[in-house]
Amino acid sequence: MTELVNLTHARDVAIVTIDNPPVNALSPGVPERIQSSIDSASKDPQVSAIVVIGAGSTFIAGADIHEFGKMTSGEKPRRTLLPILLAIEDSPKPVVMAIHGQAFGGGLEVAMAGHYRVLAPSTQIGQPEVKLGLIPGAAGSQRLPRLAGVAKAVEMCAFGEPVRAQEALALGIADRIIEGDLLSGAVAFAREVANRPAPKTRDRNEKLANTDPALFTAARDLAHKTRRGQPAPLAAIEAVEASTKLSFEEGCAFEARLFGECLFSTQSKALIHAFFGERTVNKIPDIPKGTPVYEIRRAAVIGAGTMGGGIAMNYANAGIPVIVKETAQDALDRGIATIRRNYANSVQKGRYTQAWMDERMALITPQLSYDGFDQADIIVEAAFEGMALKKQIFSEIDAIAKPACILASNTSTLDIDEIASATQRPQMVIGHHFFSPANVMRLLEVVRGKATGKDVIATSMALGKRLRKVAVFAGNCRGFIGNRMLGPYRREAEFLLEEGASVEEVNQAIYDFGFAMGPLAVFDLAGLDVGWRIRKEFKHFEKPGVRAPRISDRLCELGHFGQKTGRGYSRYDENRRPLPDPETAALIEQVAREAGIKRRAIGKDEIIDRCIFALVNEGAKLLGEGIALRTVDIDIVYLNGYGFPAWRGGPMFYADTVGLEKVLARIEEFEARHGSDLWSPAPLLKQLANEGRTFANYE
Ligand code: T1G
C-alpha cells in the first residue's frame, strides 16, 4: 500500500508530498500524516523550510466526501481538521504550499494554514462546500477573509465558485505564480523565505477592519434570490461575518457549529447524493472499463433547428469539426444565425473571447448536401420528431457513412430499434437525447437499442464527458427515462386544473417546492405544440375510456402554443412575464364541465404530491423494467434535464426522505380516487415499502 503522504528532501528544504489518488482527498490518515511530516521536518536542524505539494493531477480536492455519510449515520465520530491546521500554522519553519490542479474546500483550508502559497498558472482554488449543502468546516470562513478580504470571502464561501491563479494572486491568497516546474519553483521560493518570520494567516486581521455590514445584507439578498430554499449559503455568510466580529478561535467555534447543522441536514445528504450520482452514472455494469471506443475526430449533424444548432455547438466547443446539414437555405441560414447569436451573447457577457468564438464558428460547416458525411466518425440526426422522416434519414446516412461511423438519433420519444431497422448496421445505432437548449443543458440520455454495440455505448458515454455533458444510460422505451416520467407529471398538472386548481396555483406550488419553474410554465416555454405533435404521433397508444388531459390540446387547437405565441396556459406580456389568462380559465372550466368534473379547492400539498409522486411512481416502474440502471440515474436525469431542485436530491431520493410507506399510502389514495389505470402503484415501490426498504438500498 502506497504511503498517503511522503516526506523527502531537496537539500535543506523538506518536501511533503500528498499521494492519495485520485484527487488527494483528506481521507483518514492524510491530514495526520501531513502534520507529522511537517512536525518531523520542523525538528530537523538541516531543514530551513518546508514545501507541501500534491502528487498526481491536483493539490487537494477537499475533505473526503465519502466520510460525511459515515459521520451522519453514526458509523464514525465527527472529525475536525482544526487542531492539525493550527499545528501546521505554528510550525517554526516556513511552510510553502505548492498548489496545482485544485485546492478546494479542506484543500484550500490546508493551504491557508501554510505561511505561503505558490500556484501553477492553471490552478483553481475555492470553497465549494455550499454545493454539497455544507460550509467550510476547517476555518475556511475565518482564514479566507483574512487573505482575500471579506467581500471576496463571502462570495467564494456563499456561492462556491472557484477563482483562478491570477485572481488568487491579485486577492492576496497566493504569493507567487510559478511558471514551469512547480516543485523546483516552490523549493526556490522556500529558500527565499526561509529566514523570514513566517506570517500566520490567523493573525492577519488587517483586511477584517471596517467591514461594511451592507455587504452581508447584499449577499443574503443574492442568496435568497439565486439559492432559494437553501440554508447553507446563508450559513456561510453568517460564518464569514463572524470573522469580522469574533476572535479567530471564537469564529472557528461558531463556524463548526454551523457546519454541524449543515452536515446533518437532508439538503446536504441530497447534494452529496447528486455529487456522487454524477460520477456513478458514468459506470455501466455490463460495459467494463477498457471496452474499445471509437475515436471521434469529425462529426455531422442533420438539422439546424433549435436542437441541431445546439448540438453542433457542443461539438465545436469540444474542438471537434462539425458539418450541419439542412434541407433548405433559409432554414440553414436561420440555424447558423442562431448559433452565431448564442456565441455573441456569451462573448458579450465576457464568458468567452471573440477569438474563441471565431475558432468555434470556423469548426462549423453549414451545407445542404451530404458531402463529407463519409468522413464523419459520428452523425447525429436532429430532425423533426416523426418516425417516417427519421427512418428515411437513417437509410440515407447508412448508405453514405463509413463502417465505423456511429449513427445517433436525438429523438426524445421514438423507438430506437425501429429507427435502426432502417439501416444495415443496427449495432452502430444509438440514441443521443440532448435537452433544449442543447448547448446549455448538461443532460444527455444515451439510449441503447437491442443491437447497439458495447463499443458504441462506451464511446457515447466517453463522448458525453468530452462534450461536458452528464451522460445517463437509458433503455429503449417510449420517452426513455426523462420524458417517460414527464408524461404522468404533465397529466397530473393538467388534471389538477380540471379539478379546480388555477394555473397560477399549480405553478406556484411546484415553484415553492424548489423547481425553477412550475410545470405549466415550463410547457409554455418549451411550446405546447411540441407535445401536441408527439401525442398525435402516439394517439394509437391511448387506452380507450381512460381519462386523458385535454386542456393543452384545446389550447393548441386555438393556436395558443405558449410563450412563442404570447398565450398558452398563461398570457405573456412583452417581457415574456406570465399573466393569468381569464380565457384559459374559462376553457378549463368548460373542459371540466364536458368531462363532468365538479371543481373544488385544491391545496398546495395535494398539488405537490400528485405531481412529484407521479414522477416517483413512474420512476419505480422504469427501475423495475431495467430501463434505468439505478435509482440515482433517474435522479441525475431529473436534476440535469428537468430542473428538479438539486437540494432535494431528485424524485427518488426525495421519496426516500418522505418514506416509501407514506408515498405508497398516498399513491393508493390517489388510485382509489382516480383509478388504477392512472395510479396503480409500481410493483417495486410496493415491494420496497412493504419490506421497509428504500430506493437508495435497492440495487
Ligand atoms: N472526496 C472523495 N472523493 C472525491 C472527492 C472528494 N472531495 N473529489 C472527487 N472525488 C472522487 C470522485 O467521486 C471520483 O471518483 C474521482 O474522485 C474523480 O473525481 C472540511 C467540508 C476535484 C474538480 O467539493 O469538484 O472539504 O467516480 O470525476 O472531473 O471544509 O472531483 O472515480 O470513483 O470529479 O477531474 C469540498 C469535489 C469537499 C470538490 C476533479 N470539495 N470534487 O474533477 O474528477 S467538502 C469539493 C470536485 C470540504 C472542508 C469541507 C472534482 C474535482 P470515482 P471527478 P474531475
Asked whether 7 and 15 are in contact (CB, 8 A), the reply is yes
Average pLDDT across the chain, whole number: 96
Ligand 1, atom 28: nearest CA belongs to which residue? Answer: 279
Ligand 1, atom 52: nearest CA belongs to which residue? Answer: 61
Cell 432535494 belongs to residue: 648
Burial 546-571 (b: 16+ CB within 10 A, else e): eeebbbbbbbbeeebbbbbbebbbbb
Average pLDDT over residues 660-688: 97
d(CA 350, CA 340): 15
Average pLDDT over residues 264-282: 97
Q: Please give the distance, rounded to the nearest whole angstrom, from the Cα atom of residue 39 to the centre of ligand 1.
A: 28
Closest CA to 207 of 291, 146, 117, 257: 146
- The closest-lying atom of ligand 1 relative to the alpha carbon of residue 65 is 1
Ligand 1, atom 18: nearest CA belongs to which residue? Answer: 22
4, 18, 23, 141, best to mutate for ligand 1 pocket (most atoms within 8 Å of CB): 23
**pLDDT tens digits for 608-665?**
999 999 999 999 999 999 999 999 999 999 999 999 999 999 999 999 999 999 999 9
d(CA 636, CA 283): 13
Average pLDDT over residues 232-239: 98
* Pocket (CB within 6 angstroms of ligand 1): 22-23, 25, 58, 61-66, 81, 102, 104-106, 109, 128-129, 132, 134, 136-138, 140, 276, 279
- The closest-lying atom of ligand 1 relative to the alpha carbon of residue 137 is 30
Average pLDDT over residues 139-149: 98
Q: What does the pLDDT read at residue 659?
A: 98
Q: Please give the distance, rounded to the nearest whole angstrom, from the Cα atom of residue 651 to the centre of ligand 1.
A: 24
**pLDDT tens digits for 177-192?**
999 999 999 999 999 9
Q: What does the pLDDT read at residue 110?
A: 98
DSSP annotation string for 349-385: TTSS-HHHHHHHHHHEEEESS-TTGGG-SEEEE---S
Q: Please give the distance, rounded to the nearest whole angstrom, from the Cα atom of residue 427 to the centre of ligand 1.
A: 35
d(CA 265, CA 271): 10
Average pLDDT over residues 356-363: 97
Ligand 1, atom 37: nearest CA belongs to which residue? Answer: 61
Asked whether 611 and 519 are in contact (CB, 8 A), the reply is yes
Q: Which ranges of 264-297 would DSSP assign to H, the alpha helix? A: 266-280
pLDDT at 668 over 90: yes
Q: What does the pLDDT read at residue 2?
A: 60
- The closest-lying atom of ligand 1 relative to the alpha carbon of residue 124 is 23
Q: Please give the distance, rounded to the nearest whole angstrom, from the Cα atom of residue 26 to the centre of ligand 1.
A: 10
Average pLDDT over residues 284-309: 95
What is the side-by-side strand order in the sheet with 429-434? Answer: 364-367, 322-325, 299-302, 378-381, 406-409, 429-434, 443-447, 470-474
Closest CA to 615 of 652, 570, 659: 652
Q: Please give the distance, rounded to the nearest whole angstrom, from the Cα atom of residue 61 to the centre of ligand 1.
A: 6
30, 59, 65, best to mutate for ligand 1 pocket (most atoms within 8 Å of CB): 65
Q: Please give the distance, rounded to the nearest whole angstrom, from the Cα atom of residue 279 to the centre of ligand 1.
A: 10
**pLDDT tens digits for 468-490?**
999 999 999 999 999 999 999 99
- DSSP SS3 for 13: strand
**pLDDT tens digits for 7-31?**
999 999 999 999 999 999 999 999 9
Q: What does the pLDDT read at residue 545?
A: 87
> Does the model's pTM come out above 0.85?
yes
Ligand 1, atom 53: nearest CA belongs to which residue? Answer: 279
pLDDT at 691 over 90: yes
Closest CA to 523 of 500, 492, 501, 547: 492
pLDDT at 1 over 60: no
Q: What does the pLDDT read at residue 79?
A: 77
What is the side-by-side strand order in the sheet with 176-177? Answer: 5-10, 13-18, 49-54, 95-99, 116-119, 176-177
DSSP annotation string for 230-243: -HHHHHHHHHHHHH
The residues carrying an active-site annotation are 109, 129
Ligand 1, atom 42: nearest CA belongs to which residue? Answer: 61
In whole angstroms, how large is the CA radius of gyration of the chain? 28
640: left (phi over 0), alpha (psi -120 to 50) or beta: alpha
Cell 494567516 belongs to residue: 201
